[in-house]
Amino acid sequence: MNSLRFTAARTLCVLAMPLSLSACGGGSDSAPAVNPPVVTVPVITVQPVSVAAPAGSSVTFSVTATGNGLGYQWLHASTAGGAFSAIPQASTRTYTLTVDSTMNGNQFRVWVQNSAGIAVSDPATLNVQ
């Protein structure tokens, strides 16, 4: 029976404690507003440029874009006007490759994306000399 009295008294004590929200940091009406960052749609400001290079050399395509939290995905089409496919692990603002003699006329473009949208570059053509 003593344990029952102790439990009841303890519960009463807990319920009788004053509640102060300000001690938790949430009781003030003057707390500063939290504004989420503004995310803008990517805009490509410098397009990839077509390049001519001999087989065996390295070429780099690049893009410059504005926006927050940008991600990149380079794509490749083996012929002008052909379907573009994603290039695995080509996910930075530049893409470097070694030129092969079979790549003449291949095109490359990049998607620049973030949570607000996507921008697609113009294609750049690789001309093998």
Decide if 23 is inside a domain.
no
Let me know: does 61 contact 51? Beta carbons within 8 Å. Answer: yes
Per-residue model confidence (pLDDT) at position 34:
84
Decide if 97 is inside a domain.
yes
Per-residue model confidence (pLDDT) at position 95:
98
Domain range for 66: 43-128
Tokens of 42: 């990517």
Rounded CA gap, 77 and 121, in Å? 13
Decide if 9 is inside a domain.
no
Decide if 74 is inside a domain.
yes
Per-residue model confidence (pLDDT) at position 2:
43
pTM over 0.75: no
Decide if 53 is inside a domain.
yes
Q: What is the mean pLDDT of each run of 10 residues along the chain (129 residues)?
A: 40 39 54 82 98 98 97 93 94 98 97 97 97
Decide if 69 is inside a domain.
yes
Decide if 21 is inside a domain.
no
Here the CATH number for the domain that contains residue 94 is 2.60.40.10
Per-residue model confidence (pLDDT) at position 88:
97
Per-residue model confidence (pLDDT) at position 7:
38
Q: State the total domains in the chain.
A: 1
Q: What is the DSSP string of 21-78?
A: SGGGT---TTPPP-PPPP-PPPEEEE----EEE-TT-EEEEE-EEESSS-EEEEEEES
Decide if 17 is inside a domain.
no
